[in-house]
Amino acid sequence: MDFKEKVAESYRQIQDQICNGLEKVDGLGKFEEEIWEREGGGGGRTRIMQGGDVIDRGGVNFSAVHGKLPDQIKNSFGVDEDEFFATGVSIVIHPINPWVPIIHMNIRYFELNEKVRWFGGGIDVTPHYVIKDDAQFFHSYLKNICDQFSPIFYNDFKSWADRYFYINHRKETRGIGGIFYDRLDPKKSGLTYDEILTFSEQVGNSFLPIYTELIKRNQDKPFTEEHKAWQTFRRGRYVEFNLVYDAGTKFGLETNGRIESILMSLPPQATWLYNFKADPGSEEEKTLDLLKQGIDWIS
């Protein structure tokens, strides 16, 4: 088994573990699976849960694709070669209860040849209502993982997430961030490819304990129609980011990816309100005030 096959098999197992765990946490919903093939090479497994007890809509996707890079991607990567291989797991969960946050995770590996190959990914949380204790738990968990591999990973990747998950036209972050990294290779990280794979696997394996805890803390909190209205408004911001800025969405669309799998990140409902202003002192205003880059959530 060569390295890229090793990565793909590991990611398949992570997809299985997360889907099994989420079904147990939800208690009602079950994932529907669709096996698909990509015209040009490779394919994947799309798994979607809808109408669960906790999860409104959630997708846990695995793909391993190969073929020729479009010219615009070659130019953006600064390479001349055509043949690529890419594999990854991508997750977005939209919960029913507005006190449970939206969560996103992606781990991926890209290869052109032995010299041009890298890992990317990250995990971030988008609360409808920011709860500082939850943010501290989430970021502390990620820091513990990062610190096992490098003393600079957490600060670097946390800052990268703050910059990346930013809705520039709104001047606000998508949520409370997390970690984000891209084109991670031995030269940039000081790690071997096998060590970077282990890091990627640990990021992937963090998803289930993190989200299980966040669900446990918040799933039984009562909510009103006003809370639900705010939830769909915040979902609208999520949609704006994914369709305007998200690199994975752009890459999938530009490499003839499967549309249903690419757009599974979108919520079942979202709203846009004209010139919305939160009431002074409200929970909504408090959340908007915390959608900023550079917040230290741990201290």
Residue for token pair 């890298």: 118
CA angle 92, 33, 17 (to 5 degrees): 60
Residue at 73 is within a domain:
yes
Which residues fall within 8 angstroms of residue 296, CB to CB, at 6 or more apart?
none
Which residues fall within 8 angstroms of residue 236, CB to CB, at 6 or more apart?
270, 271, 272
Q: What are the pLDDT digits (tens) for 180-208? A: 999 999 999 999 999 999 999 999 999 99
Residue at 298 is within a domain:
no
Beta strands 55-68; 83-95: pairing state: antiparallel
Burial of 257 (0-12, 13-18, 19+ CB in 10 A): buried
Which of these ranges, 41-45, 81-85, 177-181, has the smallest mean pLDDT?
81-85
CA–CA separation, 134 vs 50, rounded Å?
A: 25
Q: How many other C-beta atoms can be found within 10 angstroms of the C-beta atom of residue 194?
A: 11
- Determine which helix (DSSP H) or strand (DSSP E) holds 253, and give its type and residue range: helix 247-254
Query: Are the beta carbons of 214 and 125 closer than 8 angstroms?
Result: yes
Residue at 87 is within a domain:
yes
Q: What are the pLDDT digits (tens) for 116-149? A: 899 999 999 999 999 999 999 999 999 999 999 9
Q: Write the DSSP symbol of residue 149.
A: T
Q: What are the pLDDT digits (tens) for 146-162? A: 999 999 999 999 999 99
Active site residue 104: yes
Residue at 294 is within a domain:
no
Residue at 23 is within a domain:
yes
Compute and round to an integer the Cα radius of gyration of the chain. 19
More confident residue, 171 or 253: 171
CA angle 109, 37, 181 (to 5 degrees): 20
Which residue type occupies 29?
Answer: G
- Determine which helix (DSSP H) or strand (DSSP E) holds 192, and give its type and residue range: none
Residue at 296 is within a domain:
no
CA–CA separation, 247 vs 136, rounded Å?
A: 27
What's the whole-number average pLDDT of the chain? 94
Residue at 60 is within a domain:
yes
Cα 241 to chain centroid distance, Å, stands at 12
Q: Which entry of 94, 104, 128, 139 is annotated as an active-site residue?
A: 104
CA–CA separation, 200 vs 109, rounded Å?
A: 9
The encoded tokens of residue 182 equal: 């891209």
Beta strands 117-126; 102-111: pairing state: antiparallel
Residue 197: give the domain boundaries.
3-289
Could you tell me if residue 35 is left (phi over 0), alpha (psi between -120 and 50 degrees) or otherwise beta?
beta
CA–CA separation, 59 vs 252, rounded Å?
A: 16
Number of domains comprising the chain: 1
Q: What are phi and psi of 52, to 5 degrees?
A: -80, -170
Residue at 98 is within a domain:
yes
Q: How far is CA 202 from CA 53, 88, 116, 143, 195, in A?
A: 28, 14, 23, 12, 11
Of the pLDDT bands very low, low, confident and very high (cuts 50, 70, 90), residue 27 is: very high
What CATH number is attached to the domain comprising 220?
3.40.1500.10
Q: What are the pLDDT digits (tens) for 60-99? A: 999 999 988 777 767 766 666 678 899 999 999 999 999 9
